[in-house]
Amino acid sequence: MDRLKRMSVFAQVVESGSYTAAALRLKMSVSAISQSITKLENELQIKLLNRSTRSLGLTEAGKIYYQGCQKMLQSVREVHEQLYAFNNTPTGTLRIGSSSTMAQNVLAAMTAKMLSEYPGLTVNLVTGIPAPDLIADGLDLVIRVGKLQDSSLFSKLLGAMPMVVCSAKSYLSQHGKPETPADMVNFAWLEYSVRHDSDFDVITPEGQTMRISPEGRFITNDAQTMIRWLKSGVGIAYVPLMWIIDEINSGEVEILFGNYQTEPRPVYALYTEKDKLPLKVQVCINYLTDYFKEVSKIYRIHRKRESAAK
């Protein structure tokens, strides 16, 4: 490191034409400049500069060394510029871990949008049930839904995934519509067994909490199968809004109990470092935060529609 600094001083002396001018540019004393050159020549055991009271010139060895210094210092500048760009423009591969349902219903579209804005970025989306391990799988961040277990990892709340009780209109036209959550005991229930607890709470119009404990007639740990059952009209389900938003917008699926509120599930990003997060990770977290803000707006719109229909 000291030699690199002395090389930089030497190059500045040559380019400035004198010790005094170099000292001004580098904000050093003339004596410090002189000592730096002397140490460099002693290390190399060769004279680099011919200096008199009126002039300063390069020796033959000094000319060769100056050319090498220029190349070396230029390489250092380029590396610094690359690191600056790395910190100011997301580049490289971003490895994200999540459940397959999060990847399919949220991350696929979100990352496509993100990569269209940042052409230097690549995404490797690793999925599984449960979600992949941040450290064991060498990931930059992992997206988790629901209450976090105690962990040494750092986390950031991205937002919340609204949950809805819903059914295909074809099922409701055949079996009728439950008026309150308590009526669901008389209807077929679709259970997603990945969640450890199939029970859930709803808030009544009077502000009271009601615990719902449905018994599943159709049970699966596969989200796509769950949605197929739902769309084919075999029962009622409690699912994240964004799993079936297209079917709700098309009128194929209907949200039930518009006057009741359901508790959204928190969504977190997990990572190993709290400070100095790579820019690619920061950008992804920002995109996801914006996404869940938009999801919250969509949910409020649908709640207003369902409440108005009552």
What pLDDT shows up at residue 199? 79
221 and 288 share a domain? no
140 and 278 share a domain? yes
54 and 203 share a domain? no
Q: Read off the CATH number of the domain in which 242 is found.
A: 3.40.190.290
43 and 96 share a domain? no
What pLDDT shows up at residue 154? 86
73 found inside a domain: yes
278 and 153 share a domain? yes
118 found inside a domain: yes
Looking at 85, 109, 124, which one is the last position of a domain?
85
What pLDDT shows up at residue 308? 64
53 and 97 share a domain? no
287 found inside a domain: yes
Question: Could you report the average pLDDT of every consecutive run of 10 residues in the chain (310 residues)?
Answer: 85 89 90 91 91 83 91 83 70 90 91 91 86 83 84 86 92 91 87 76 83 84 90 92 88 87 90 79 92 88 68
Range of the domain at 226: 163-263
What pLDDT shows up at residue 310? 57
pTM of the model: 0.68
What pLDDT shows up at residue 85? 61
61 and 99 share a domain? no
What pLDDT shows up at residue 307? 63
What pLDDT shows up at residue 95? 92
Number of domains in the chain: 3
What pLDDT shows up at residue 142? 93
SS (H, E, C) the chain: CHHHHHHHHHHHHHHHCCHHHHHHHHCCCHHHHHHHHHHHHHHHCCCCEEECCCCEEECHHHHHHHHHHHHHHHHHHHHHHHHHHHHHCCCEEEEEEECHHHHHHHHHHHHHHHHHHCCCEEEEEEECCCCCCCCCCCCCEEEEECCCCCCCCEEEEEEEECEEEEEEHHHHHHHCCCCCHHHHHHCCEEEECCCCCCCEEEECCCCCEEEECCCCCEEECCHHHHHHHHHHCCCEEEEEHHHCHHHHHHCCEEECCCCCEECCEEEEEEECCCCCCCHHHHHHHHHHHHHHHHHHHHHHHHHHHHHHHC
